[in-house]
A and B are shown apart, each in its own frame.
Chain A
Amino acid sequence: QSALTQPPSASGSPGQSVTISCTGTSSDVGGYNYVSWYQQHPGKAPKLMIYDVSKRPSGVPDRFSGSKSGITASLTVSGLQAEDEADYYCSSFVRTNTAHVIFGGGTKLTVL
């Protein structure tokens, strides 16, 4: 099972909005509403930012939003702040021969 496809990098200025895509197949992103997004700062464990495509865990700012269309999920960060600079990973439940989870390759978000 190949990893989900994310752009390696994205950038934006403070206050702007940035959208990161995550493309899979009908067996994963397109087939289930189990897409999650994680933020990871250097040397830290990942932090769940979005789950079930568009739900935000308690404490995550509403500047972070998620959506899905077909086999592509998206994370949008609005009102960019310096602390949003981090690596972002998507993940999806997948069922082919077996049920498991796959991650995207990650996107480095730079706040200019």
Chain B
Amino acid sequence: QLQLQESGPGLVKPSETLSLTCTVSGGSISSSSYNWAWIRQPPGKGLEWIGSITYNRKTYYNPSLKSRLTISVETSKSQFSLTLTSVTAADTAVYYCARDQTGGSCPDWGQGTLVTVSS
């Protein structure tokens, strides 16, 4: 069974860079059948799709985050990563990584990791 696990700092200072990694186990990150996605949820609020990456490194980004966002994949480590620059308090959220099978449908999710932006 596919498992995903987010990792990274739980606290980031304003104006700095948020970096998270998702480790995939129980399946191949190199499959051409899936994309690998990041989704976030501010405390008490709804879900926001951040972006996704294909096995061959094609990326799809939320237009509202595109200027600050990079998603990359390291197939040798079965990991994909999120980098968000110039963060503010509005970037405080639980960040989830997920497998996207088609058109944004995600059957497998990590447990989520809370990232707080504060000085």
Contact = CB atoms under 8 A, between A and B. Distances in A.
Contacts of A102: 49
Given A45-B112, A46-B109, A51 B47 contact: no
Nearest to A97: B63
User: Which size class do B's interface residues fall under?
Assistant: 20 to 34
A36 B46 contact: no
Contacts, number: 78
Contacts of B105: 34, 36, 48, 51-52, 91
B34 interface: no
B86 interface: no
A106 B104 contact: no
User: 7 closest pairs, A vs B, by CB?
Assistant: A34-B103, A101-B104, A51-B105, A93-B103, A45-B109, A36-B105, A101-B49
Contacts of B107: 48, 51, 57
A28 to B, nearest CB: 10
Contacts of A89: 46-47
Interface in A29-52: 32-34, 36, 38, 40, 45-48, 51-52
A1 B102 contact: no
A97 to B, nearest CB: 7
Given A52-B103, A100-B63, 8 more contacts: A36-B103, A45-B109, A46-B106, A93-B104, A99-B60, A100-B62, A101-B104, A104-B46
B16 interface: no
Contacts of B104: 34, 36, 91-93, 101
